[in-house]
């Protein structure tokens, strides 16, 4: 079995389960750190010719992270392409099993059960209303029906834009500043918010700088994500 992954989360998932299967991954596939496979461009602009040269038995992708025309080109060339759709934690765990067991022919990896257990043992805490920017210039936030939003909800963070008709709406900074929220959650991807780039835009509203990998990736990072995110969110809220 030869696998090319076009999604960082799925690359890490395969690498943690059967690293010998991976023959190609995107430039954005940063985990594991010692991943040594051919790079085939970005998630939005993969090198289709390079992927074809690798002659994979399976290409794994995601309907949100990868572009339909690129996936169609791979399918038209005769490659088997498995496309995931992830909106919730439950769906993520199911899709990971579908890729690893159904797609790659592996036994169900133990870390999937550890991840499921880690998320089922969350303790109740006070609900925090939050805005969750994912980009600036222009400002964009998490809206409805997102995987990251589902994780935050499980951790007691209510996204005030969760009912917005768009999944990643553009919202004027003035509106974000005026929102009645307890916390601004700032991940380090896709936009890399930092202590000096992001919190200052929201005046005195407490901000939590969170790991984008733990908030937006669905893979082995889900094992540690509840503990890592909860600690960061508590620390940010404590600054109020």
Chain segment 46-102, per-residue pLDDT in tens? 999 999 999 999 999 999 999 999 999 999 999 999 999 999 999 999 999 999 999
**Alpha carbon 83 to chain centroid distance?**
15
At residue 240, the pLDDT reads: 55
pLDDT tens per residue across span 207-221: 999 999 999 999 999
CATH 3.40.50.1980 location in the chain: 3-85, 120-237
Helix (H, G, I), strand (E, B), or coil: what is residue 176?
A: helix
Taking the C-alpha atoms of residue 41 and residue 35, their distance in angstroms, rounded to an integer, is: 15
At residue 67, the pLDDT reads: 97
- Residue 13 belongs to what H/E stretch? helix 8-17
Q: Which residues contact 218 (CB under 8 A, 6 or more apart)?
A: 9, 13, 86, 89, 92, 93, 95, 96, 147
At residue 124, the pLDDT reads: 73
Q: In this structure, which topology does domain 120-237 adopt according to CATH?
A: Rossmann fold (3.40.50)
Answer whether 8's CB lies under 8 Å from 28's CB: yes
Pick the CATH number of 3-85 from 3.40.50.1980, 3.40.50.720, 3.40.50.300, 3.55.50.30: 3.40.50.1980
Residue 73: phi and psi, rounded to 5, are -65, -40
Taking the C-alpha atoms of residue 193 and residue 143, their distance in angstroms, rounded to an integer, is: 18
């Amino acid at each position: 079995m030869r696998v090319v992954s076009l999604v960082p989360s799925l690359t890490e998932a395969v690498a943690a389960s059967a690293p010998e299967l991976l023959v190609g991954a995107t430039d954005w596939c940063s985990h594991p750190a010692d991943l040594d496979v051919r790079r085939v461009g970005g998630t939005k602009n993969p090198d289709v010719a390079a992927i074809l040269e690798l002659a994979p038995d399976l290409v794994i992708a995601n309907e949100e992270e990868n572009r339909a025309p690129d996936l169609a080109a791979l399918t038209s060339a005769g490659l088997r392409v498995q496309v995931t759709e992830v909106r919730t934690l439950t769906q993520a765990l199911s899709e990971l099993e579908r890729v690893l067991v159904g797609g790659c022919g592996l036994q169900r990896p133990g870390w999937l059960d550890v991840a499921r257990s880690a998320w089922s043992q969350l303790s109740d805490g006070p609900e925090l209303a939050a805005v969750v920017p994912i980009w600036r210039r222009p400002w964009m936030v998490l809206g409805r029906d997102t995987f990251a939003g589902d994780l935050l909800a499980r951790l007691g963070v209510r996204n005030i834009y969760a009912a917005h008709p768009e999944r990643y709406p553009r919202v004027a900074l003035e509106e974000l500043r005026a929102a009645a929220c307890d916390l601004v959650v700032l991940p380090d991807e896709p936009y890399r918010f930092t202590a000096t780039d992001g919190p200052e835009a929201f005046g005195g509203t407490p901000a939590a700088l969170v790991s984008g990998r733990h908030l937006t990736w669905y893979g082995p990072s889900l094992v540690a994500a509840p503990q890592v995110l909860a600690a960061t969110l508590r620390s940010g809220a404590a600054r109020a």
